[in-house]
Amino acid sequence: MDKTTLTFEQFQPLIARFLADCQWFWPELLLIVVIALLLLSDLFLPRSKSRNLFFLAMLGTVAALLLVAWDLFRQTHGAVLPKGGEYPFPYLFQGMVIADKFAYFCKIVVLAGTIGVIAMSYKEKRFNDYTMGEYYTLLLSSVLGMLLMVSATDMLMFYLAMELTSIPSYLLVGYHRDDPKGLEASLKYIIYGAVASGIMIYGLSWIYGVTGSLKISQISLGHFDKLFSGLVLLMVFAGIAYKISTVPMQFWVPDVYEGAPTPVTAFLAVTSKAAGFAFLLRLVHALRVSEALPASLPPYIFAFAVIAALTMTIGNFMALNQKNVKRLLAFSAIAHAGYLMMGVCVFSDQGQTATLFYLAGYMLMNLGAFYIAMIVANATDDDNLTGFNGLGTSAPFFAGSMSIMLFSLIGIPPTVGFVGKFQLIASVLSSLQTVPGWLRLSLILLVLIAVLNTVVSLYYYARILKAMYFEESKHPGIAPSALNTVTVFVLAAGTLGLGIFFNWLIEGAKGTL
Amino acid sequence: MLLSLAIFLPLMAALVILFIPARYKQAIKIVSLIGASLCFYVTLHVTGAFFSREPGETMDHFFDNKVEMTLSSLKVEEQNALRPILAAKNFAYPAKSVTLTEAEQKAIHGLKLDHVWQQLVEMKLASGVPQAKKMLMTEYYEWIPSFNIYYFVAVDGLSVSLVFLSALLGMLCIIYSWNIEKATKGFFSLFLLLISALMGVFLSLDFFLFYVFWEVVLLPMYFLIGIWGGPRRIYAAIKFFIYTLIGSVLMLVAMIALYYFSSPQTFNVISLMSLAPGFSHDFQWWIFLALFIGFAIKVPVFPFHTWLPDAHVEAPTPVSVILAGVLLKMGGYGFFRFNFPIAPSASQDPFFVWMLAILGVINIVYGAFCAMAQKDFKSLVAYSSISHMGYILLGMAAFTYASMQGAVLQMFNHGLSSALMFLLVGVVYERAHHRRIDDFGGIGLQMPYYTGIAMVGFFASLGLPGLNGFISEIMVFLGTYQGFSVAPNTDKMILLYIALSGIVLTAVYILWTIQRVYMGEVKNEHYKEFKDINAREAISMIPIAILCIVLGVFPKLILDVLQPSVDVIVDMMKMLGK
């Protein structure tokens, strides 16, 4: 076929397929419309009323979530696209993205997390009233990037989605323009992000150069030198590691989390990490099933296991002496990235299920922790642990909810954090019988490191508990607010409820890839 | 149904309390007393089943019936496929790992019966275990099918005494706590949660469920020590939490490993017992070690014991009572329920036998010496607990019928006597506002009724014949002698001799304490204003004192209940040892 002179007739099936593909792209399209509407209404709304754009952003996100749920429902009930085109359904847009259950699961996590973040943003006292239009625009653009990221099946698409996620979040991190800490955080975030994505795209260009394809299902490095392919994959991993904040790309986390406005911190810690992990899982799965790797899996398992162990240990030990709550939660977020890596490192279906489950649970508990940290900081103007002093008596509901979140973060039943950790450990132990002897020992060691890390983490999470309940100082109390109460209640009930009735979530996460 | 009621009644009371405004303190107390009393009433029924002529359906029958029910609920062709396969496998104890041939697997998979098959095998395995013949009131519901986790509770002679003890002490402590004014709502709801979790620990037979309850015990305990405790409460609370969490995470790893190394994969403790003899010795060895550390921290066994004095000294009296009376028994119970039956080969490993025996002796002697050196009344009682816990380890190491029964009985008896002693310390502390033993004196003159009860408690702890402590100690010693005097164990005899010195040492510190606190002249003018015990204190202490005497005179009452269940463990191990 002569490629230079395509006639309209030749285009037609492509266009038809494109339009058909759009039917499975409603959530993203909706978000684009909402983003545009936000920008526009920001122009016409009086500046002082810009906080009210919350309603539009919230409505848009909830609608997008419902659309995702509808898509999932449609698909499970057998709705498919008419045949045609080079890529079979559920690949969309020439194999750039995919509309599979895995993507839906992650989209639900991302959008649900975003709803929480938007609620937080509405309640964050420190945002001024006249720039919220830009804020929500940037936030939702970033979310759009994440939705693409979790469904990307092409490395180039992934790269673009990652940049779409990152660039607005650089701005969000430095959203308090006159706060030097925020600016420092933003700058750090940009520099790290630029370096990481630079390394990553260099790795991608190698992959494209030697294999001629960037589709993750077609990456076949099997014929190449082990060292070469290892290095290339390491470069790609560097970009992802930056998003999910594992060793060695975790250095930006504490400063950025501390300097950013709290809703943005929660956004980065919860949704951004979920999106990163989603793509990592997809990539790892593709590499595993297409047997694209030159060496067998064990060396990769070992490398990932080392990363997991280092990440959780560094995160936990660095958190021990933090006084600033956000910084403490930042280090805890690193530690949790380490736990999550346990599920990735074993290269198994069960590991994927466990990681997905943990991502959903982590969304609930971490969002809750950040939410209450923000409420407390707003009430006391104190970002440190001392802000929590006496919360147990002045605001028993919030203190109780915070305790649930903290127990969940530690991993104590009956909370979702425990169930998640249980599954991650189970996925490592279940792979013991299939790996060679030398690796078995390292995996057992990984599990022991993980559980002992749990004990270490107890120490610093308990410092918040101690401040809330054991310190006898007066707390100014927390102004009642329906939105705060409802959101925190939902998050706490979810954390607790999913710790007791979690079978459905396992079944939902199982076999999605 | 009864067992679930026993577990969840206190929890429901706690939930009710959450909806009572904090200012209605009296209402909160009454609701919690009702919750705890109902729970105790239910456990009376449960205990009664062990004395009745028709105790109800045992677990082996329960599962046999359930298998039949499950099968008959299937379609005919499905039944026809499953029945022959089920019949061909040998489920007698000890069972082999249940492996299917490829054809069988295909047939089951083809009919989409994998999950049903898993259930059937699990139930069949469980019904073959000798312990299942002693288990009553089985409740078995699916909870998390993805991991074959069940809500599975039942009671046998081993657990019933501890369930009774938890409910009794829980109720009495709530009466004793009637004067708690600081954050009443929080205190009582946490306390009820604690009782619920303890009930769950002793009743659950699904390892996952057990672990959940085991961990839930930590949470209220942490807050109860940390909020209502003494001056160093924060340190004591976090130390308690960290120590026990180390133990429980190791237990978690062991639990998950057991799941993946058993075939079929299961958390069902009874099914695991059936499969346990098939596990390799090395695997059992590691499982035993991990579980041992987990339980040993709770007991506490010698190198892991340092959290206990801190926690006890700082905890408020009712919490100390539960801590000493019930929480420490969780460890001992774990040894009997998990370590021995699930790692039978490892528990006969000379290394572990020696370890148990040596650590037991260290606990007895070292605990007693430490107790002697204490200046604080409460920490003396705490160290005496460590000493008394040593007998349990010694009894387990000797592994004869008598020593094992003695060890289980010792758990119950120590639960009574230490609970009573902590209450006694609490009573005097409330009046004197200090616990320095040397500054007391002449309390006996001032508070005769109180001192009368105190004598029962202290002498029960000392092991005076006629009181309950004597029975269990003598059984442990006799059983241990029996065990150590035969061939391969004779070199352990020396340990028994050292342990025997514990009797004297216990007498020394108990008598010396009685002398310093209760005898002599009234040391301080202030003490002359002390009133004798009031109704609240009397109601919470007298039942325990009565039980101490009754079980000292008529130990058959409880021995008959626990003997069959404990003997089964010994029989199982003896059979496997051959």
Is there a contact between B226 and A433 if contact means CB atoms under 8 Å apart?
no
Buried b (16+ CB within 10 A) or exposed e, B485-518: eeeebeebeebbeebeebbebbeebbeebbebbb
Q: How many CB atoms lie within 10 A of CB A409?
A: 29
Sign of the CA dihedral running B388, B394, B396, B402: negative
Would residue A425 count as lying in a domain?
yes
Residue B201 belongs to some domain of the structure = no
Residue of A425, A500, A501, A510 to mutate when probing chain B, most B C-beta within 10 A: A425
pLDDT at B349: 86
Distance CA A271, CA A277 (A): 10
Joined tokens for residue A411: 């991993």
Residue A332, in any domain of the structure: yes
Domain end, chosen from B108, B134, B160, is at B134
**B258 located within any domain:** no
Q: CA nearest B246 in A: which residue?
A: A455
3-state DSSP call for residue A339?
Answer: helix
Report the residue of B146, B206, B287 to disrupt the A interface, i.e. the one with the largest count of A CBs within 10 Å.
Answer: B146
- CA A299/CA A311 separation, integer angstroms: 18
- At B151, the amino acid letter reads Y
Q: Does the distance separating the beta carbons of B212 and A413 come in below 8 Å?
A: yes
Is any Cβ of chain B less than 8 angstroms from the Cβ of A409? Answer: no
Residue A84 counted as domain residue: no
The total of other beta-carbon atoms located within 10 Å of residue B457's CB is 27
Which residue range is the domain that position B369 belongs to? 348-578
State whether B215 and A429 contact (CB < 8 Å).
no
Per-residue pLDDT of chain B (578 residues; tens, 9 = 90+): 889 999 999 999 999 999 998 888 899 999 999 999 999 999 999 999 888 888 888 888 888 888 888 888 888 888 888 888 888 777 777 777 777 888 888 888 887 888 888 888 888 888 888 888 888 888 999 899 888 899 999 999 899 999 999 999 999 999 999 988 888 898 999 999 999 999 999 999 999 999 999 999 999 999 999 989 888 889 999 999 999 999 999 999 999 999 998 888 889 999 998 888 888 889 999 999 999 999 999 988 988 989 999 999 999 999 999 999 999 999 999 999 999 989 988 888 889 989 999 999 999 999 999 999 998 889 999 999 999 999 999 999 888 899 999 999 999 999 999 999 999 999 888 888 888 888 887 888 888 888 899 999 999 999 888 898 899 999 999 999 988 888 777 888 888 889 889 889 999 999 999 888 888 887 777 777 788 888 888 899 999 999 999 999 999 989 989 898 999 888 888 888 65
Task: Tell me whether residues A506 and B144 touch, CB distance under 8 A.
Answer: yes
Taking CB atoms and an 8 Å cutoff, what residues of chain B touch A392?
Answer: 186, 227
Which residue from B145, B219, B246 is facing A407, i.e. has the nearest CB? B219
- Of A393, A468, A470, A466, which Cα lies nearest the Cα of B228? A470
- Nearest-angstrom CA–CA distance, A448 and A312: 12
Residue A266, in any domain of the structure? no
| DSSP secondary structure string for all residues of B168-188 | HHHHHHHHHGGG--TTHHHHH
Please give the angle made by the CA atoms of B101, B74 and A503, to the nearest 5 degrees: 80
Strand B136-144 with B149-155, pairing: antiparallel
Chain center to CA of A477? 32
A422: chain B residues, CB-CB within 8 Å: 252, 256
Chain A residues with CB inside 8 Å of B151's CB?
none
Distance of residue A119 Cα from the nearest chain B Cα, in angstroms: 27
Give A-chain residues touching B215 at CB under 8 angstroms. 412-413, 418
- Quote the CA–CA distance of A179 and A182 in Å, as a whole number: 5
CA nearest B226 in A: which residue?
A470
A183 to chain B, closest Cα gap in Å: 38
3-state class (DSSP) for residue B153: strand
User: Using the beta-carbon criterion (under 8 Å), do A413 and B216 form an inter-chain contact?
Assistant: yes
Q: Are A390 and A471 in contact (CB under 8 A)?
A: yes
The boundaries of the domain holding residue A454 are 297-513
Helix (H, G, I), strand (E, B) or coil at B206: strand
Model ipTM over 0.90: yes
> Among A451, A459, A507, whose Cβ lies nearest the Cβ of B242?
A459
Is B526 part of any domain? yes
User: How high is the pLDDT of residue A83?
Assistant: 62
Look up residue A478 and give its amino acid: I
Structure tokens at B116: 């049903």
B249 and A451 in contact by Cβ < 8 A? yes
The angle that helices B448-462 and B535-553 make with each other, rounded to 10 degrees, is 40
Residue A103 falls inside a structural domain: no
Mutation choice for A interface testing from B8, B17, B215, B221 by most A CBs within 10 A: B215
CA dihedral B285, B286, B291, B292 (to 10 degrees): 60
Residue B87's pLDDT is 80
At CB < 8 A and 24+ separation, what contacts does A216-220 make? A216/A153, A216/A154, A216/A155, A216/A158, A216/A282, A216/A283, A216/A286, A216/A287, A217/A153, A217/A286, A217/A290, A218/A290, A219/A155, A219/A286, A219/A287, A219/A290, A219/A292, A220/A290, A220/A292
A487 in any annotated domain? yes
Query: Would you say residue A223 has pLDDT above 80?
Result: no
Q: Is residue B491 part of a domain?
A: yes
Number of domains chain A contains:
1
Task: State the smallest CA–CA distance between residue A438 and chain B in angstroms.
Answer: 17
In degrees and rounded to multiples of 5, residue A357 shows phi and psi of -60, -45
- Does residue A280 lie within any of the structural domains? no
Q: How many independent structural domains does chain B possess?
A: 2
Residue A349 sits at the chain B interface (C-beta within 8 Å): no
Three-class secondary structure of residue B137 per DSSP: strand
Is A398 inside a domain boundary? yes
Scanning A429-488 for CB atoms below 8 A from B yields: 429-430, 432-433, 447-448, 451-452, 454-455, 458-459, 462, 465-466, 469-470
